Every structure is written in C-alpha cells, then in structure tokens.
Amino acid sequence: MSLVPIKRREIVSNELAGLNRQVDDLFGNYFRDYDRPSWSTHRWPVLDLVEKDDNFVVMAEVPGVKCEDVDISVTGSIVSISGDKKAPEKPKEKGYVHSERVFGQFRRDINMGVDIDTGKIEAVCENGILTITLPKSPKARPMKIKVKEA
C-alpha cells in the first residue's frame, strides 16, 4: 500500500513566502519519498481570531493535546500558545505500516497589535478546541466621542 502525501497551499502574502514555496517545490520532487508532515512546515496550531470592541477571541485546534499540556502567556500585545503533544506507545502488532501523525512540542506567537488586560484572560479547552478570550486593555478599546453643537 502506498500513501500519497497531501500538499497544502497557503495563500502567499508576501514575496518571501512565495520564494519559500518555490524552493519547497524545487526540492520536493527530489525528496518525494521522504516527504512527511512536520511541525515546522505548517503553522500549528491552526487558529481563528475574532476581534470585538472589548476583546479578542482565539480558537485554536489542539486535537490530542491534554489541557494540562498547554501553556498560554501574554507579554504586551504578544500571545504565546505552547505545549506538548505526547506520542502514544506504538503498537507492537503486525501490520503497522505507516504513521503520519506528528508529536512533540509546539509554539505559536500571535501579535494582537494592542495591549491585553492580563488580569481578565479566560481559556477553555474542550473537544480539541482551545478558546482564549483576551480582553483589550482599557486604553486600547475604542472610545466614542460625543459631538456637541456649537
């Protein structure tokens, strides 16, 4: 049985990313038989980021990671999600041919662009989804100014 690797294409947002993709394509055929996913080639964990008036909500996929193995830290406007996806014991049974799952340490830094109120951060991990609510600091929240008639 032969498995065919799946290549994911990310939207190229700048020239450096495009060059990186071209180099990967150039050497990809040469090392085709050794191709396997890794933590370093894809941004992991993948996430969604929603901005509201008073806060940000980050929803990160962390399947197979225990809640106690996830660390979240905030420094100014940078939020760091890190942890460890531990590998189970490999089966000793016959027929175990191939594994593409990746295990090990991970880290993802997100620049929110504004300071976060660290005293009010909430994080919940449920069904492989880590949801982090990051309140903006009061000085970073939008303020409405009432205009008076002269």
**Measured distance CA(68)–CA(84) in Å, rounded:** 10
Say which CATH class 44-89+97-140 falls into.
mainly beta
Q: Is the peptide bond before 142 cis (omega within 30 degrees of 0)?
A: no
* DSSP codes joined into one string, 8-41: P-PPP-SHHHHHHHHHHHHHHTTTGGG----TTT
Residue 119: strand, helix, or coil: helix
Cβ–Cβ < 8 Å for 139, 92: no
Q: Which of 3-17, 49-63, 93-107, 117-131 has the lowest mean pLDDT?
A: 3-17
Q: What percent of the chain has pLDDT over 90?
A: 37
Query: What is the rounded average pLDDT for all residues in the chain?
Result: 79
pLDDT of residue 144: 81
Length of the chain: 150
Residues 6+ apart with CB under 8 A from 123: 72, 130, 131, 132, 133
CA distance 33 to 25: 14
- Which of left, alpha, beta for 115 (phi over 0: left; psi -120 to 50: alpha)? beta
CB atoms within 10 A of CB 83: 22
Handedness of CA 31, 8, 102, 13 (dihedral sign): positive
Taking the whole predicted model, whether its pTM rises above 0.75 is answered as no
Q: How confident is the model at residue 79 (pLDDT cuts 50, 70, 90)?
A: very high
